[in-house]
Structure 1
Amino acid sequence: MFIARVTGSVVSTQKVASMTGHKLLIVEPYRLEPDQRKSLTTTGRTFIACDTLGAGEGDYVLIVQGSSARLTPETKHLPIDCVIIGIVDSVHIEKQNVYKRDE
């Protein structure tokens, strides 16, 4: 499981039938900044994730990849390898708040 930030969306008008109606978002995984450990920083990678929660651009989300992406009731029959499983409200590291939604 990873924390990622939604940076955009993907529109695909031609796709396999099972993917019709599923929202696809571009997500960028983040990690704890190693020196000061007071903020989140990008890993420099991006993925396309299936969104089942209604996340939006700029939201920090929880993602899972690989076979874990097909373990939710909404995604068990989809040909995906990355899904958003949560929208992050806050992140605390060593009693310090490094992220709070809507700030």
Structure 2
Amino acid sequence: MYLAKVVGVVVATTKSEGLVGKKMLMVQPLTPEYNPAGNIEVAIDSVGAGNGELVLVATGYAAHQQFNAKDAPIDRAIVAIVDSVEVSKE
């Protein structure tokens, strides 16, 4: 899992049947200090996240399993809206 910021929404009228009814959001992966880390990606929202929110993104099987959708092409899922992050400076 990784920390990310929601930076946009994806609207697709025509899509795989496994994605019908699922909200797709653009997320920017972040470092624990909230700096951009890597490329913007698309993730399926499972928690009602909105633009600008800090979220936790699950990947791979953990993301796919979140939706119980056997044939859905899901490899990234937003699984939490993050309230705060505290990093120890040890």
Q: TM-score, normalised by structure 2?
A: 0.88
Letter paired with 2:34: L
CA contact (8 A) 1:69 1:75 kept: no
Q: Of residues 79, 84, 98 in structure 1, which corresponds to 2:73?
A: 79
Question: Matched residues in 1 for 2:14 and 2:2: separation?
Answer: 29
Structure number, greater radius of gyration: 1
The unaligned stretches of length 5 or more in structure 1 are: 33-38, 96-103
Question: Matched residues in 2 for 1:68 and 1:76: separation?
Answer: 12
- Name the count of aligned residue pairs: 88
Question: Matched residues in 1 for 2:51 and 2:83: separation?
Answer: 15
Question: Matched residues in 1 for 2:63 and 2:36: separation?
Answer: 22
Question: CA RMSD for the aligned pairs?
Answer: 1.5
Letter paired with 2:73: P
Question: Matched residues in 1 for 2:41 and 2:34: separation?
Answer: 18
CA contact (8 A) 2:18 2:69 kept: no
Q: Which has the higher strand share?
A: 1
